[in-house]
Amino acid sequence: LSIAGLMFENEKAWRSEEEIRDGLRAIWNAMQSCMARGIREEGTLPGGLHVSRRAPTLHRELASKPEAAMRDPLTVLDWV
């Protein structure tokens, strides 16, 4: 089994397949919402360090030149 398969089988000891999949979908949706908010919100990150948000600017820059990924396959790492 893959690690994912092993974990899925382990979870089946506690939950039904439907409950597991529903839980995974909820986690996926929360992650997607966090990413969307991160590339949308401007200003300063929460907390006392007053760190400027960089994700919106970086996202706009990367999205504005998709052809760069065609020239250099390592460009995808900029998205990471």
| 61 located within any domain | yes
What is the distance between the alpha carbons of residues 10 and 34, in angstroms, rounded to a whole number?
Answer: 28
Lookup: tokens for 15:
């939950």
| 33 located within any domain | yes
Is this prediction's pTM over 0.85? no
| 69 located within any domain | yes
Domain of residue 78: give its range: 53-80
pLDDT at 38: 94
Would the pLDDT of 13 be above 80? Answer: yes
Question: For 1-80, where are the E strands, in sequence order?
Answer: none
What is the distance between the alpha carbons of residues 49 and 4, in angstroms, rounded to a whole number?
Answer: 37
Q: Are residues 2 and 36 in the same domain?
A: yes
As for how many domains the chain has, the answer is 2
pLDDT at 67: 77
What is the distance between the alpha carbons of residues 78 and 76, in angstroms, rounded to a whole number?
Answer: 5
| 48 located within any domain | no
The pLDDT tens digits for 16-71 are 999 999 999 999 999 999 999 999 999 999 999 999 999 999 889 888 887 776 77
- Residue 6 binned pLDDT confidence (cut-offs 50, 70, 90): very high
What is the distance between the alpha carbons of residues 73 and 26, in angstroms, rounded to a whole number?
Answer: 32
Q: Are residues 36 and 3 in the same domain?
A: yes
